[in-house]
Amino acid sequence: MSALAIPAHFGQLPKLHVYVDETGDRGFSEASRAKSPFFAMTALLVPQEDEWHVKLTAGGLRALVHGAQPQEILKPIHWVEHFRPKHKTRRRQAAQALALIPSAMVVHVIAHKDTVKADAGMAKDKEVFYNYTTRLLLERVALAAREWPGGPRLAIVRLGRVKHMDHAASAAYFDYVRQGAGLTSYPIPWNYISWPPTWENTQRDGIQLADIHAGILNCALSGDPQDRACAENLLLVSHQLRRAWNGALLGYGVKVIGDPSFITSRVWWPDWKTR
């Protein structure tokens, strides 16, 4: 059996649909850091039996956004385009809709550019940065699938396609990691992810919802650290964050690349951490 093959019995596990999107700029130039001091990737995990809620939620939000133009009812929704700051009520409605999806789980990996170690090479190569961030997210997806409430599952991972990225090269890197390269201090149960993950466009309902989760996170992180209002929508969906058995959030539902105080020093962190 190939080192990369998924053992047959894993294929019999109940399925877990995972949708991934990103927010923020991957650049490390002075201009990029000023415009976007962070880059983040967000995964939305939904058990197969609740997948219909994904379709219902995405369809409802499209109807909300395109209600005045019913001919565009199937046009994908995007946080940046359709949930701008002037649409405060619409943003809240989106968060409320996401919060109602039963059994959904969310994982964020957040890179604070100013405190990312320069010697890691990430500050010099956008592909290295993207691949490393995605790897940390996939590690947490694999662990979540193995430890899913009610029993382990097999995660079907779909990521939002990224312009100017060689996704074939990314997949090759993840295969390299799965074979044991760059081992973490703890074993990663890669067999709980159906391989390979795929990169898809925004026609996929789940990717649209992952984009909204990522946009809600962006609003909170772009606000003043002492402003609780910027995180109001983020707190509405905080019950969906993956947590350890003891409720710990850091390293589980939220992984920070760089200095964790970029997150933990914010006035809304205690509420986000404990919900």
- Backbone φ/ψ region at 170: left (φ over 0), alpha (ψ -120 to 50), beta: alpha
Answer yes or no: is 2 within a domain.
no
User: What's the structural domain count of the chain?
Assistant: 1
Answer yes or no: is 194 within a domain.
yes
Residue-wise pLDDT for 170-229, tens only, equals 999 999 998 876 556 678 999 999 999 999 999 999 999 999 999 999 999 999 999 999
Answer yes or no: is 168 within a domain.
yes
Residue-wise pLDDT for 34-73, tens only, equals 788 999 999 999 999 999 999 999 999 999 999 888 888 8
Answer yes or no: is 196 within a domain.
yes
Answer yes or no: is 53 within a domain.
yes
Answer yes or no: is 1 within a domain.
no
Which tokens hold the place of 6?
């998924």
Answer yes or no: is 3 within a domain.
no
For the whole model, what pTM was predicted? 0.94
Q: Which domain holds residue 249?
A: 8-180+189-274
Residue-wise pLDDT for 232-245, tens only, equals 999 999 999 999 99
Answer yes or no: is 165 within a domain.
yes
